[in-house]
Amino acid sequence: MDARALRPSLTALMLALTAVTGLIEAVSLLALGPVFTAMQTGNVLFLAFGAAHEGDLPALPAAVSLVAFALGAVCGARMESAAEGRGWRGMCVGLYAETALILAAAVGGWRVTPRFGDPGAPHLVEAALLSMAMGIRNVTSMRVNVPGVPTTLVTRSMTGLLAGSALGRDSAFGYGSGAWARRALAVLAMFAGGLTGALLVRAGWSVGEVLLPAAVVVAGVTVAHRTLLPLLHTR
């Protein structure tokens, strides 16, 4: 068999990262918040609702996440662009940093008990670490730009899936091509990751115990990209 047939596709790696996002957001919302770490639209709204003192939503977790995410995005952009300028793989550099941050959150959260609605200082620290990791991830996924698999949200994937389906019949979204499969897998990956995270929290796992598998998967994606995929210069 041709060795190239054994190489995982970049799409498969990005789908794995999408599942990790689902797991991390389950931890963030159910054990650390309510707060998002990857999908910052939710945090902007949580902050707005908290500022209005409506809905009984604390504004502090959302503010912490937004600041940490912004820091991660800036650091990720500088790291990955500098790496590619030196002929390195920007995606790998970003994934190294993401793995380190998620692993730090896993270690720091090993004895942190999930708490919904009234996060303490340890919960906010965990949320900040994960938000920084997701800020870097957003830079990585946008630079790689696998169509239909943004890894940190599935709204666009669902829109493309439906618009390019036999129902939407829009050629601008790839109607008549195989793009629908990639988008459908992205939605399923996010669902699977979120379901896994929610079940682990429900089973009584600590924050660190739930995050450890996420760190392992991101590390595995990094190794796979570095050792099994050809050099990719992405924009």
Count of other CB atoms within 10 angstroms of residue 39: 19
How far apart, in whole angstroms, are the C-alpha atoms of residue 63 and residue 47? 7
List the pLDDT tens digit at each of the 235 positions of the chain: 333 443 458 899 999 999 999 999 999 999 998 999 999 999 999 999 988 888 788 889 999 999 999 999 999 999 999 988 887 778 889 999 999 999 999 999 998 999 888 789 999 999 999 999 999 999 999 999 888 899 998 988 899 889 988 888 888 888 778 788 889 999 999 999 999 999 999 999 999 999 999 999 999 999 988 887 654 444 3
| DSSP tag of 152 | S
pLDDT for res 230 = 57
Count of alpha carbons within 13 angstroms of residue 191, beta-carbon side: 9
Alpha helices by DSSP H, listed for 31-172, are 40-51, 59-85, 90-108, 121-144, 155-163
Query: Exposed (0-12), middle (13-18) or buried (19+): which is 26, by Cβ within 10 Å?
Result: buried
Cα end-to-end distance, the chain, whole Å: 32
Residues 180 and 164 sit within 8 Å (Cβ to Cβ):
yes
DSSP code of residue 29: I
Look up residue 138 and give its two tokens. Answer: 């957003």
d(CA 182, CA 141): 15
The per-residue pLDDT for 72 is: 97
pLDDT for 5: 40
- The verdict on pTM exceeding 0.85 is yes
Q: Is 89 left (phi over 0), alpha (psi -120 to 50) or beta?
A: beta
Distances (CA, A) of 201 to 12, 32, 80, 102, 218: 26, 11, 33, 17, 20
Q: Residue 6: its pLDDT value, please?
A: 37
Looking at the chain, how many residues does it have?
235
Place of tokens 């900040």: 128
pLDDT of residue 147: 85
Q: What is the pLDDT of residue 169?
A: 80
DSSP per residue over 40-70, as a string?
A: HHHHHHHHHHHHTT-SS--HHHHHHHHHHHH
